[in-house]
Amino acid sequence: MISETKREVLSLFEEGRELYKSRKFSEAMGKFAHALKLDQEDGPSKVYYARCKMYLENPPPPEWDGVFIMTTK
Domain spans, the chain = 4-57
**Based on the number of CB atoms within 10 Å of its own CB, is 32 exposed (0-12), middle (13-18) or buried (19 or more)?**
buried
pLDDT in tens, the chain (73 residues): 889 999 999 999 999 999 999 999 999 999 999 999 999 999 999 999 999 999 999 999 888 877 776 666 6
Q: Alpha-carbon distance 51 to 56, whole Å?
A: 9
Q: Alpha-carbon distance 73 to 70, whole Å?
A: 7
What single DSSP character describes residue 1? Answer: -
